[in-house]
Amino acid sequence: MSHPAKASEFLQDAAKAKWHDETLWFVRDKRDTISKTIPEWEQLRDLASQIKDNVLANLDQYLIQFEEKAKANGIQVHWARDAEEHNQIVLGILQRHQCKAIVKSKSILTEECHLNPYLEKNGIEVVDTDLGERIVQFLNQPPSHIVLPAIHLKKKDISELFHEKLHTEKGNEDPAYLTHAARLHLREKFLGAKVAITGVNFGVAETGEFVVCTNEGNADMGVHLAVVHIACMGIEKIIPRRKDLGVFLRLLARSATGQPITNYNSHFRSPASGKEIHIVLVDNGRTDQLGREKFKNSLKCIRCGACMNTCPIYRRSGGYSYGSVVPGPIGSILSPGLDVKKYSTLPFASTLCGSCTDVCPVKINIHEQLYEWRQEITKSQGTNAKSISMKIANGIFAVPFAYKVTGSMMRGALKFLPDSITYSGLNTWGKQRDLPETPKETFKDWYKKNRS
């Protein structure tokens, strides 16, 4: 998987890339505006980070406490070591209830576990009920953003897709009209489903309840109409106390979309009479990440997407250029922990400007972890063309005479070399840029001439 290659594909449509960049910056700007209305914003970030520090330091205890409380509330708790176990547990529940179709609200974890194709392979119809998720599901695409799944598509694209899939009026791009058509389509699916699957934003150790945050109410619709609710939760989503929600809910929506709070913050504590709630607690590499001292803070993430909205690389290269379920800066420090060889280019897809760290609501040191991953990956790759060139450059920069001679030779060569050589495939930097004009003299020569 090569981020530069995928980014090049995205940038072939310059107009779309520009629109994508501007749209995400608009969301980032909304985040900035609304955060300034909270005088204690930075204190909230500090407190959220400290709560998460406490969780990571005592994760085993909080998980045991959550399990005990949840079971006492009548929730059936399952543990999954990895994606395969998670998928098998979910399929087993569906088979016990002879269920052939489910509705599912947004869940990054189920995307991470590739639940949809697994269930479909086993004869289960899966309907994603978040509007953006349903759009990309129609296209057989994964989400390109963890909060805005179809941000890479324009109204025209969605209008054409709905005309094909939902038989809407051809050429009608009115958002209200398209949303109404989706609502009618999904209502039918809600009414026919025996089982609903959701993700989990927060699991409360103190009470054994869990919280699902949505803007569309699709999670609530699915869960309340279904007989069985399956909630899929990464083990890092635990928080100690219910009152801690007051910190995280104030940060989440403001950081994600620039709104005061998500429209629906639904608490699930125990099943209604005649119904079942199952929660699947999933590791899938999280314990390994917790054991990496330099990278464990990445597990604080509350999946707001703020780092993506601000990142100049993500905004200009699109979510699919990352080849991972979680793209952008946070994905670039999580994904190498799962497969460092496959995702080795992601930590280099960054300017290390630190904007991601500045907007993170739980103060993850994202840009520092990106730098650390670069060191780890470079060490693991051993000797290659890049490392050899760096050693040569180091030798030249270390010796003033060698630096002077090499600089003089290169300035002379650049004046006469044809563009076919200067801008060959070896000069990646020059793909979309012209080299600056070669100076007539060095600063050192100029200084000697003009020092008096």
Express each pLDDT in 350-368 by its tens digit: 999 999 999 999 999 999 9
Q: Which of 313, 257, 310, 343 is nearest to 17 (CA)?
A: 313
Place of tokens 């204190």: 43
SS3 content of the chain, % helix, strand, coil (to 5): 55, 10, 35
Q: Are 264 and 61 in contact (CB under 8 A)?
A: no
- pTM assigned to the model: 0.91
Average pLDDT, the chain: 94
Residue showing tokens 């090569």: 2
Q: Rounded to whole angstroms, what are the CA distances from 266 to 167, 215, 291, 342?
A: 33, 11, 32, 37
| Average of per-residue pLDDT across 268-290 | 97
- Secondary structure E strands in 161-295: 195-198, 202-204, 209-214, 228-234, 238-239, 264-268, 276-282
User: What phi, psi does 295 have (nearest 5°)?
Assistant: -120, 0
pLDDT in tens, 226-256: 999 999 999 999 999 999 999 999 999 999 9
Domain spans, the chain: 38-284, 304-381, 391-451
pLDDT value at position 233? Answer: 98
Phi first, then psi, for residue 212 (nearest 5°) are: -120, 125
Give the pLDDT confidence of 188-228 residue by residue, as tens digits: 999 999 999 999 999 999 999 999 999 999 999 999 999 99
**What average pLDDT does this structure show over 135-151?**
96
pLDDT at 431 over 80: no
Cα 309–chain centre separation: 10
Span 316-340, average pLDDT: 96
According to CATH, the topology of domain 38-284 is: Rossmann fold (3.40.50)
pLDDT tier at 331, thresholds 50, 70, 90: very high
Contacts of 344 (CB under 8 A, 6+ apart): 336, 377, 381
- Which tokens belong to 304? 């707001």
Bridge partners, 3 (sequence order): none
pLDDT band at 31 (very low <50, low <70, confident <90, very high): very high
Q: State pLDDT tens for residues 282-305.
A: 999 999 999 999 999 999 999 999
Strand ranges for 339-436 from DSSP E: none
Statement: residue 452 has pLDDT above 80:
no
